[in-house]
A = this chain, B = another copy of it.
Amino acid sequence: MADVAELAKVSPSTVSLYLRRPEAVSASAGSAIARAIDKLNYVPNLVAGGLAAASSRAVSIIVPSVRNAFFAETVSAMQAALRKERLQVILGHTEYDEREEEDLVRTALSWAPAAIVLTGLSHSDATRRMLSKTTVPVIEIWELGGPQIDTAIGFHHQQVGAASARHLIQQGRRHLAYLGARMHEDRRARLRCDGFVAAAQEAGVSVEVIQHPAPASAEVGAMLISETLQQHASTDGVACSNDHVALGVLFECERLGLAVPDRLAVVGFGDLSFSAACNPPLTTIRPSGDLIGKEAARLIIEHLAGHDMPEHATIDTRFTLLHRRSS
């Protein structure tokens, strides 16, 4: 920066100012600086900037895993929006472990990020304590309806479950089941299950929960549906913890020669890339992963611009039930 300043015949602080607010510098100084930067191939050091400003242009995002298409979508949308403001994404994976999360939050804080984004509302006490003490804005995503640290953006997973149940009942189904994968770790899948069961019971319809500890996959879906049909032969409508599981159900039904939706109606969750194309096309619930990321980015950018973030705000990004031929 000193070299640039010298070449442009201004002081370093003018260069600094130009870099952060070009409009605050006179046109002549500005263009001289621009030329010098170009000539010297100058790349500002953001680490030094972050230290001096006591806040880096980094946003820490902590998700269970980007292998999960839902979080990949949110991370991707957020990254795209933050990039325009020259904010960097620092990524961490909890692998659904609160201890890992705690550790990630700790190191995240040592980067003095512009904001910390984490997934869900359930965290260890230590995590909660660390975060409520800092001045760094905290955003929790992908879950609503619990105690939140500060801002939360997402939707109510119980409502998703309830919507699935009501849809199946509307289609004339009276013997429901929820097929859940990895529900001991995936709190949000569990909430959807709870909402499903509650809505079914309220409607006076029979409901079972069949689950498997492995992560959601088509294999697990196939196993779960065959188990379900063995134990509860009259089952005529199922909701699945996500579309991978639902796809496995469709595959298994095809192998068993079981007609979908005539004999069994299937509802998924996620609207993944194959969901509209399979046989039959899958009725599913599309969450708002993209919107969650965009809204989070918007809040962070506004906060950085000086608008202080509304305290304890809640943004409900909703979800959509897509009625296709599997139900």
Is the interface on chain A under 10, 10 to 19, 20 to 34, or 35 or more residues? 35 or more
Check A44–B110 contact: CB distance below 8 A.
yes
- Measured between alpha carbons, how far is A202 from B76 in the docked complex, in Å? 41
Interface: A96 (CB within 8 A): no
Interface: A67 (CB within 8 A): yes
Which of these, B76, B79, B217, contacts A277 with CB under 8 Å? B217
Contacts of A56 in B (CB 8 A): 47
CB distance from A282 to the nearest CB of B (A): 11
Contacts of A48 in B (CB 8 A): 51
Interface: A222 (CB within 8 A): yes
CB-contacts of A228-253 with B (<8 A)? 244, 247-248, 251
Interface: A93 (CB within 8 A): yes
Check A67–B73 contact: CB distance below 8 A.
yes
Check A106–B43 contact: CB distance below 8 A.
yes
Contacts of A66 in B (CB 8 A): 66, 72, 75-76
| CB 8 Å contact bits of A61-99 with B (1 = contact, 0 = none) | 000011101001101100110010010111111010000
Contacts of A109 in B (CB 8 A): 43
Contacts of A244 in B (CB 8 A): 273-274
- Measured between alpha carbons, how far is A75 from B68 in the docked complex, in Å? 12
Check A278–B110 contact: CB distance below 8 A.
no
CB-contacts of A100-126 with B (<8 A)? 104, 106-107, 109-112
Chain A contacts to B: CB under 8 angstroms: 43-48, 50-51, 56, 58, 65-67, 69, 72-73, 75-76, 79-80, 83, 86, 88-93, 95, 104, 106-107, 109-112, 217-219, 221-222, 244, 247-248, 251, 254-255, 273-274, 276-279
A-B contact pairs, 26 of them (CB 8 A): A46-B110, A47-B50, A47-B51, A47-B111, A47-B112, A48-B51, A58-B90, A66-B72, A67-B73, A79-B92, A79-B93, A83-B104, A88-B92, A89-B90, A217-B274, A217-B277, A218-B274, A218-B276, A218-B277, A219-B277, A222-B277, A244-B273, A244-B274, A247-B274, A247-B277, A274-B274
